[in-house]
Amino acid sequence: QLQLQESGPRLVKPSETLSLTCTVSGGSISKNSYYWGWIRQPPGKGLEWIGSMYYSGSTHSNPSLKSRVTISVDTSKNQFSLKLTSVTAADTAVYFCCQGDSPVDPWGQGTLVTVSS
Amino acid sequence: EIVLTQSPGTLSLSPGERATLSCRASQSVSSYYLAWYQQKPGQAPRLLIYGASSRATGIPDRFSGSGSGTDFALTISRLEPEDFAVYYCQQFGNSLTFGGGTKVEIK
Per-residue confidence in pLDDT tens, chain B, 107 aa:
899 999 999 999 999 999 999 999 999 999 999 999 999 999 999 999 999 999 999 999 999 999 999 999 999 999 999 999 999 999 998 789 999 999 999 99
What residues in B contact A49, CB-CB < 8 Å? 95-98
To the nearest 10°, the Cα dihedral for B65, B67, B69, B71?
Answer: -90
* C-beta separation of A6 from A73 below 8 A: no
**The pLDDT of residue A49:** 96
Non-local (6+) Cβ contacts of B39 within 8 A are B45, B46, B85, B86, B87, B88, B101
Each residue's pLDDT tens digit, B1-27: 899 999 999 999 999 999 999 999 999
Return the pLDDT at A54: 86
Q: Is A88 helix (H, G, I), strand (E, B) or coil?
A: coil
Query: Rounded distance, CA A16 to CA A87, Å?
Result: 6
CA B15 vs CA A29, A115, B62, B82: distances in Å = 41, 40, 13, 9
Rounded-to-integer distance, Cα B74 and Cα B95, Å? 22
Distance CA B43, CA A110 (A): 8
pLDDT of residue B2: 93
pLDDT at A32: 62
Average pLDDT for A17-28: 95
Tell me the one-letter amino acid at B21: L
Closest partner residue to B100 among A46, A102, A110, by Cβ? Answer: A46
**How far is B19 from chain A, CA to nearest CA, in Å?**
21
CB contacts of B56 in chain A (<8 Å) are 103, 105
